[in-house]
Amino acid sequence: MRGAVVALLAVALAAGVGAVVGSQAVDASSATVVRPLPELGAAVPLVPDGVTVDDGVVPGGGTTVGSGLPAVTELDPALLTALRRAAGAAADDGVAFTVTSGWRSAEYQEQLLREAVAEHGSAEEAARWVATSDTSAHVSGDAVDLGPASARSWLAEHGAAYGLCQIYRNEPWHYELRAGAADRGCPGMYADPTHDPRMQP
């Protein structure tokens, strides 16, 4: 099996095309990991612009809240503090948080938006899933995407105590910090980003 994978990678590299190794997409022209794939075999396009971990890419599909990757360290300090406090409490309950995305550069965000337009067929439909770099809470460092499902279940029950709230009903992984949530609970969710006034031009 290992020999077959090596041979496949060699053919892909020789052809100058991207290949999938484990759960990571590889740009064959630079042999740089450019975007994590959500699962092995998923049909996710490569990122041709060559974005890297410096742009907020999280290699391997996930990292910890204590990571030194820019996707984590470039989050708003208040959000990062709340996230780490919540993760510590969740760990006491046997639940681990995985950061699948956090801060992103404007270039990375725009690439994700182009991919979403290609995938969904229109800018209008893509806007339900990916914001522009001018409006994205990821670019400003004010949003974090979390997994697995056990972490999201834990946050549904305990997240408000740390100010961590799910913002969009269609994105159960997307969390932002909301002041006052500890006292009043999280605000009502938007159906998707197109209903969020912050996303309007």
Angle (CA) 132 179 87, round 5°: 85
pLDDT at 22 over 80: no
52-199: CATH topology is Muramoyl-pentapeptide Carboxypeptidase; domain 2 (3.30.1380)
C-alpha distances out from residue 183 to 77, 78, 90, 162, 186, Å: 21, 17, 20, 10, 9
How confident is the model over 96-121, as pLDDT tens digits?
999 999 999 999 999 999 999 999 99
Domain spans of the chain, in order of start:
1-50, 52-199
Q: What is the mean predicted confidence (pLDDT) over 38-50?
A: 42
Q: How confident is the model at residue 65 (pLDDT cuts 50, 70, 90)?
A: very high
- CA dist 159 and 113 (Å) reads 28
Which pLDDT score is estimated for 50? 85
Longest Cα–Cα distance in the chain: 59
Question: What integer is the mean pLDDT of 165-184?
Answer: 96
pLDDT one-digit tens code per residue, 80-99? 999 999 999 999 999 999 99
Residues 6+ positions from 16 with CB-CB distance below 8 Å: 28, 29
Kindly state the tokens that stand for 155: 């946050």
Angle in degrees, CA 95, 67, 181, rounded to 5 = 55
Asked if residues 51 and 108 have their Cβ atoms less than 8 Å apart, the reply is yes
The residues annotated as belonging to the active site are 171
Task: Give the mean pLDDT of the chain.
Answer: 81
| Residue range 68-79: mean pLDDT, rounded | 98
pTM for the model stands at 0.75
